[in-house]
Amino acid sequence: MRARATLILVSAVTALAADVAPASAGPCTVGSWVAVAGTVSDGRDCRAAVLTADGTGATARTTYGAPVPGIGRFAITLQRLTPDRGSLQLEFPGGYLLMIDGHVGVYTSEAQWAETGYRPLPAPLTGAPQHAAHRLEVDVGARTIAVRVDGVAAGVWAIPAHAATGMFGVLVAGARGTRSRVRISDWALPAPR
């Protein structure tokens, strides 16, 4: 009888512990991201990934696994993990946001880029190192793209039109032969229409 009571008590405590303890989700995967050039690996939690150039080329690129809407807010945190220099790029339907040492630009076409190119980051971000984590927000509207870096308005670019859908991705550029790495985390995409 005593053994049975102990067994019931142990079973009750085990069931209670199972209700209170967080369930193990198992190993995280980066299945949301597809390597186009280089490799993508787990970023140590379920909302992060690391993109690494393979060393034979100067650029690594990954895209989100499915097309996304072309209008809305695209947000992500990027941090270069290697000491090399080069641009960090955020791909959105119809264009790219480019960041390089104290400057930011939006590319939607050769003509638009020739006209606007890079702009200096605004005063609160002047001198912000590329190797720090930066929160990038790109608001794509019908005719404009507004960019915020770390919560600071970095500019508005006029665009002729937007893409209905397209790819969301990240590129890291460095010197040829380097294994440039960038940590990708906390991405948010527009809701499907």
CATH number for the domain harbouring residue 41 = 2.60.120.560
Distance CA(32)–CA(188), nearest Å, equals 12
What residues make up the domain containing 34?
30-188
76 falls within a domain: yes
Over range 93-101, report the average pLDDT. 91
Distance CA(65)–CA(121), nearest Å, equals 31
Instruction: Quote the pLDDT of residue 31.
Output: 63
- Which ranges constitute the DSSP H helices of the chain? 2-20, 110-116
151 falls within a domain: yes
100 falls within a domain: yes
7 falls within a domain: no
8 falls within a domain: no
The pLDDT tens digits for 138-153 are: 999 989 999 999 999 9
Percent of the chain surpassing pLDDT 70: 82
In angstroms, what CA-CA distances link 106 with 26, 119, 161? 39, 9, 14
54 falls within a domain: yes
The pLDDT tens digits for 168-179 are: 999 998 777 778
pLDDT: which is higher, 22 or 52? 52
Query: Which residues, 6 or more positions from 72, have their beta carbon under 8 angstroms from its beta carbon?
Result: 139, 140, 189, 190, 191
39 falls within a domain: yes
Over range 36-57, report the average pLDDT. 83
How many domains, the chain?
Answer: 1
